[in-house]
Amino acid sequence: MFDAEQNTFNYDFGIRLEAARMALRLSPNEMCELLDCARSTYTQYIRGNTMITPYRLSPLYKCGVSSDYLFFGDKRNLSNTVAMSIEGAEVVAKSEREKPENRGRRT
């Protein structure tokens, strides 16, 4: 049961991380620069295959994206700018993630 819960948590985190990128209007490469990670690593984060080290999220916090949102979906601490565009970005991120070529290990 824990594995299923962990997979769901990682999947949801990946959707929210990608939605945050879109809401901030960053390209994938710009997001990688912000998080100081390789593009392949970022892909693993958004696919839910690897969990990000929390200290790497500090730059996102400075941009108005709270860790409460990324980890748990709590939107109360998002900056106004991010909050206004996050809903639509989540829909797009989830749609992109559900494409067969983007599913990763999630079943």
Reading the chain (107 residues) residue by residue, the pLDDT tens digits are: 468 898 999 999 999 999 999 999 999 999 999 999 999 999 999 999 999 999 999 999 999 999 999 999 999 999 999 999 999 999 999 998 888 876 654 43
pTM > 0.85: yes
- As to burial, measured by CB atoms within 10 angstroms (0-12 exposed, 13-18 middle, 19+ buried), residue 42 is buried
Which domains, and CATH codes, for the chain? 2-100 (1.10.260)
The pLDDT of residue 2 is 62
